[in-house]
């Protein structure tokens, strides 16, 4: 059932929220056995919220799943990492409070790459399970918000999922699973209560079965928050007019059949486009993104040391350095260790200027390149991913650098903090193909108007 219709029916008393929530919880448990989309299904909280729904709210009675890295009070929130096992936040992330206020019902925490470190959702925490693609269990969901994308695709009930993107973690799994995924402007949605990956890149967003479902949530979650010093005071711009669309020329270096589908979609929707070149973004965004992301991640993860929350061991008689080192070495997964080491390296005296500062200078040049492009067009468009969802066995053969290269198309808009939307435009060998629309800062309304090019 469409989310809009469901909410109207709830308000009119035509459907029971409690029954819907019980049904979706049952379904989530069943699907989870085969597909591993949830790290935690929060039945108790869901039923309590269903019982006390704000029927006047914009999301009255709507079941919502939450990526594991977003804190929900009293519900285990691990960001997909073993090191945070047992951590039950004492507070809600700001976005959770906003959703509940508008009548949403939180149903559980979705699986993800550990701390968001991945493009395929295979880098899960040491005791977590890899989610499987909803259309082919041998294939991956994409990452890092794989659980959110997979469940959004498979559920038969009204539902949206709150997810998070640092370098493509919403667009990529949305593309591989064939759902709509919105990543808003950096700073539009408060990051308070997000277990951070990289502070200057993280953005909380939303996935839905279709584009209009995500728009509904975008009307609820933005807003300045004094608890997040990077949250914006500005609002989404009203103007939704799209006069010109620019297809990013360098992004077309993908499989011919993916390219064909994208042209077919643009043509069948009468979307006229011009070609736009983004040479700096194409050549340098991936490296700039990964350096900044890893540097910030390595500092963020320094706080996880077996004290105050998460995994702890007996501290009696232990030396602090040995204790912290033991906890971290035994509880971080392989990719987390790799990124901590790379991030620590690029911040070290002697290397900082060559890597970390350089990457942030390059980011400025890339932002300027996008700004120039948006003087010519209202929206940019490209394939979301260079491929469709690969098989897990093939992903396992990739070297780390080959993994990172998969973000070549999503790194740019994420690095620049630009809003972008993945739309499913068809299938290749039964696997979904995603198209990504990118807009200038705070022009989310243009993203939702791509089919109405003047």
Binding to other proteins (CB under 8 A) within 72-91 occurs at: 86-88, 90-91
Q: Is 282 in the site for other proteins (CB under 8 A)?
A: no
Decide if 125 contacts 80 (C-beta within 8 A): yes
d(CA 430, CA 156): 20
CA 393 – CA 213 distance, rounded (Å): 33
Active-site annotation holds for 65: no
Q: Where in 405-434 is the site for other proteins (CB under 8 A)?
A: 415-418
**Binding flag, residue 212, other proteins (CB under 8 A):** no
Q: Which of 42, 65, 67, 261 is catalytic?
A: 67
What's the token pair of residue 359? Answer: 């990457």
Q: Which of 42, 111, 119, 144 is catalytic?
A: 144
Q: Exposed/middle/buried for 240, CB within 10 Å: 0-12, 13-18, 19+? A: middle
Q: Which is nearer to other proteins, 284 or 450 (CB)?
A: 284
Kindly indicate which of the ranges 27-35, 132-140, 151-159, 399-407 contains the residues binding other proteins, using the contact rule CB under 8 A. Answer: 399-407
Q: Closest distance between other proteins and the C-beta of residue 320, in Å?
A: 4
Residue 169 catalytic? yes
Instruction: List C-alpha distances in Å: 135 to 64, 80, 391.
Output: 21, 23, 12
Contact indicator for 292, 299 with CB cutoff of 8 Å? no
CB nearer to other proteins: pick between 216 and 336: 336
Q: Determine, following the binding rule CB under 8 A, whether residue 1 of this chain makes contact with other proteins.
A: no
Instruction: Copy the structure tokens of residue 392.
Output: 């897990």
Side-chain-facing half-sphere of 194: CA atoms under 13 Å: 28
Listed residue (351, 18, 72, 320) closest to 192, CA to CA:
72
Structure tokens that stand for 350 in this block: 């002697």
Site map (CB under 8 A) of other proteins, residues 261-280, x = contact = -------------------x
Site for other proteins in 315-344 (CB under 8 A): 315, 317-326, 328-329, 332, 337-338, 340-342, 344
Q: Does 231 qualify as catalytic in the annotation? A: no
184 binds other proteins (CB under 8 A): no
Report the C-alpha gap between 281 and 198 in whole angstroms.
20
- Residue 51 exposure: Cα atoms within 13 Å on the Cβ side: 6
Q: Taking CB under 8 A as the criterion, which residues in 283-312 touch other proteins?
A: 283-284, 287-288, 290-291, 298, 302, 305, 307-310, 312
> Residues 357-386 vs other proteins: string with x where CB under 8 A?
xxxxxxxxx-x-------------------
Could you tell me how many residues of this chain bind other proteins (CB under 8 A)?
74
Backbone φ and ψ for 355, nearest 5 degrees, come out as: -110, -70
Looking at beta carbons only, is 274 or 348 nearer to other proteins? 348
Q: Tell me the catalytic residues.
A: 67, 144, 169
């Amino acid at each position: 059932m469409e989310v809009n219709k469901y909410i109207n029916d709830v308000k009119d008393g035509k459907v029971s929220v409690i029954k819907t929530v019980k049904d979706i919880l049952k379904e989530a448990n069943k699907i989870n056995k085969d597909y591993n989309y949830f790290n935690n299904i929060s039945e108790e909280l869901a039923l309590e919220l269903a019982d006390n729904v704000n029927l006047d709210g914009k999301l009255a009675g709507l079941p919502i799943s939450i990526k594991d890295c977003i804190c929900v009070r009293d519900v285990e929130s691990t960001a997909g990492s073993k090191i945070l096992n047992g951590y039950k936040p004492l507070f809600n992330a700001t976005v959770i409070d906003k959703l509940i206020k508008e009548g949403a019902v939180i149903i559980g925490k979705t699986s993800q790459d550990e701390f968001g470190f991945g493009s395929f959702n295979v880098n899960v925490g040491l005791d977590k399970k890899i989610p499987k693609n909803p259309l082919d269990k041998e294939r991956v969901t994409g990452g890092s918000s794989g659980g959110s994308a997979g469940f959004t695709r498979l559920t038969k009930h009204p539902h949206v999922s709150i997810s998070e993107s640092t370098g493509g973690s919403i667009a990529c799994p949305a593309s591989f699973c064939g759902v709509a995924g919105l990543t808003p402007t950096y700073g539009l949605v408060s990051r308070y209560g997000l277990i951070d990956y990289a502070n200057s890149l993280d953005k909380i967003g939303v996935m839905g079965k279709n584009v209009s479902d995500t728009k509904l949530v975008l009307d609820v979650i933005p807003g300045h928050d004094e608890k997040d010093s990077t949250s914006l005071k500005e609002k989404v711009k009203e103007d939704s007019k799209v006069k010109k669309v620019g297809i990013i020329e360098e992004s077309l270096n993908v499989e011919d059949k993916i390219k064909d589908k994208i042209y077919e979609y643009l043509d069948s929707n009468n979307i006229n486009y011009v070609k736009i070149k983004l040479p700096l973004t194409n050549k340098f965004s991936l490296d700039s993104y990964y350096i900044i992301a890893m540097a910030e991640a390595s500092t963020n993860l320094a706080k996880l040391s077996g004290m105050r929350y998460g995994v702890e061991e007996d501290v009696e008689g232990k030396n602090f350095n040995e204790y912290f080192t033991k906890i971290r070495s035994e509880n971080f997964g392989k990719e987390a260790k790799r990124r901590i080491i790379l991030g620590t390296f690029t911040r070290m005296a002697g290397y900082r200027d060559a890597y970390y500062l350089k990457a942030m200078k390059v980011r400025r040049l890339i932002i300027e390149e996008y700004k120039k492009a948006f003087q010519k067009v209202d929206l940019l468009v490209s394939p979301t991913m260079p491929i469709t969802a690969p098989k897990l066995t093939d992903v396992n053969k990739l070297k780390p650098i080959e993994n990172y290269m998969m973000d070549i198309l999503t790194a740019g808009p994420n690095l620049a903090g630009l809003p972008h939307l993945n739309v499913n435009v068809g299938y290749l060998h039964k696997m979904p193909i995603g198209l990504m629309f990118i807009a200038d800062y705070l022009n989310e309304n243009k993203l939702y108007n791509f089919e109405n090019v003047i």
